[in-house]
Structure 1
């Protein structure tokens, strides 16, 4: 389906993501809204009688996460509750164990050369992902180009969400959404039985109709919509960058989408070249600052 090119750079369909032109047809309201400081759950009820629908919000030292679970009734409330607690525990564990602002975290110990990257398998995975994104973005995402050394903050939140989502799948829950600020990952179907309908609002022009994604698997990562200037550093100069007002990227994995969005925010329009070589990731918005 063709979408308005003024609202996105590409109209290609992502695997298991349907792009809907909100202006062309009448559709039910979205399940989730992102962008324009409207990162919220639009509706959480309305589930089928044979489903268990759960909404839960958890706070860590750096972020707020909302988990929406839509589990089959036969799984039972006890197992669903245990899966939710397991996913929440993973989010808290990532914050405590890998957060660069936690003085005793593995990342902080790595920065102090107390341990090596391969001391713990998850830490090695985190370091490898950062290295891969540095290569994929021509150095515009560089977890090592920060004061004090290694800082994976540009993808750590997405990495935490994907690890929590893996806990849900391991427990047999394959229909869920996990949100953090302007970022999310979804799988399966919403409580109403259809794909998750995600309205992505333009980051600066609130008069524009949102771009609506119907998703059964995928993630949306965003950088810049908080309104804070200078929170992303140009890794080549060490200075804060504000070439764009915001950058939003969609793709299969939230950690990667987050890193791409951070790098695109830093690089500006030059970063659009990363998505023209058959990548599974696409920018929805790369909006210039006025």
Structure 2
């Protein structure tokens, strides 16, 4: 099955490919399997809509906005928000403040963590529902189960072109770049846009990590490539400001025949 919805400000697509059913039993399980897949997809998009309501810094009544204004005592924070806050602090500390959800002059904005974290949680719900092979794509950041799956990395300077094609299986990939939203990633150490890289793509075991590491590394600039590459389980493909490509040896490039 395939399904696409616009959630959290970007398109989210889900493809479920659990088709490896023995031929002699296919008819018997087809209706039940389709129903289960639909229910699993319903749960995914319901969760993402809930995240949008609770964690959007652009909605004044959201839990994130209320926390940012200091309206919630520590004991009033949900477990989910506490987890997000811990992730934000983890990457702020790891980057020496280059990655920071609390920039001067701006409200608290954990979107760089929330996106990957929430989509990874959705992927976990699919696995818990018994879905074995799927691809969940949230605005270009992807988590897959089963495989192989093939994904393209957009060229940072040539719209419509790819600079890399990946083979994925039971992992995730995320890219931070300047081509969609301009210089929107701020180096928290300087308060100025991060311009050392054109794009940073990270493959990791989970989208929680891939998305946060890609953004944090981009905020670090050129030094972020080495930082991200040194993290356990992370593989990196980066294009620097001069157009040079840097990648780790284990980055899962598709081998063209």
Same-fold call, TM > 0.5?
yes
The change in CA–CA distance for 1:282 and 1:143 in structure 2 (over 3 A counts) is same
1:154 paired to 2:107: no
Q: 1:79, CA displacement in angstroms?
A: 1.4
Residue 64 of structure 2 contacts residue 108 of structure 2 at CA under 8 Å; is this kept in 1? yes
Give the corresponding residue for 2:44: 87
Once residues 184 and 163 of structure 2 are traced to their aligned partners in structure 1, the CA distance between those partners, rounded to angstroms, is 26
Q: Which of 114, 138, 141 is the matching residue for 2:96?
A: 138
Deviation, 1:183, is 1.1
Deviation for aligned residue 1:82? 0.7
TM-score where L is the length of structure 1? 0.73
TM-score, length-scaled by structure 2:
0.81
* 1:215 aligned partner: 168
Alpha-carbon deviation of 1:266? 2.1
Residue of structure 1 in register with 2:124 after alignment: 166
Aligned partner of 1:109 among 53, 62, 66: 66
Tell me the distance in 1 between the aligned counterparts of 2:65 and 2:119. Answer: 21
Structure 1: 5+ residue stretches without partners: 1-53, 190-194
**Would the aligned equivalents of 1:117 and 1:127 in 2 still touch at CA under 8 Å?**
no
Alpha-carbon shift at residue 146 of structure 1 (Å): 4.7
Q: 2:4 aligns with which of 57, 75, 82?
A: 57
The number of equivalent residue pairs is 232
Q: Say yes or no: does 1:98 pair with 2:51.
A: no
Structure-2 change in CA distance of 1:209 and 1:148 (3 Å): closer
Q: Distance in 1 between matches of 2:106 and 2:114?
A: 17
Q: Pairwise CA RMSD of aligned residues? A: 2.3
User: Compared with structure 1, are the counterparts of its residues 242 and 251 closer, same or farther at alpha carbon in structure 2 (3 Å cutoff)?
Assistant: same
SS, match of residue 86 in structure 1? helix
Structure 2: state its 5+ residue gaps: 22-28, 244-257
Larger deviation, residues 200-209 vs 107-116: 200-209
Q: CA deviation at 1:279?
A: 1.9
Residue 287 and residue 205 in structure 1: after superposition, are their counterparts in 2 closer, same or farther (change >3 A)? farther
Q: In structure 2, what is the Cα distance between the partners aligned to 1:56 and 1:146? A: 39
Work out the CA distance in 1 between the residues paired with 2:172 and 2:35.
28
Contact 1:110 1:117 in 2 (8 A): no
Bigger RCO (CA 8 Å, 6+ sep) = 1
CA contact (8 A) 2:150 2:165 kept: yes
SS at match of 2:195: coil
Q: Displacement, 1:200?
A: 2.6
**In the TM superposition, what whole-angstrom CA distance separates every residue of 1:94-153 from its partner, at most 9, and x where no partner exists?**
111111111111100101111145521111111111111222323221112253442111
The reply to whether residue 69 of structure 1 matches residue 27 of structure 2 is: no
Write the distance in 2 (CA, Å) between the matches of 1:210 and 1:61: 27
How many Å separate the matches in 2 of 1:116 and 1:126? 16
Check conservation: 1:141, 1:259, Cα contact below 8 A: no
Contact 1:202–1:285, Cα closer than 8 Å, also in 2: no
- Answer whether contact 2:88 2:100 (CA < 8 A) is retained: yes
The 2-side partners of 1:253 and 1:200 are apart by 18
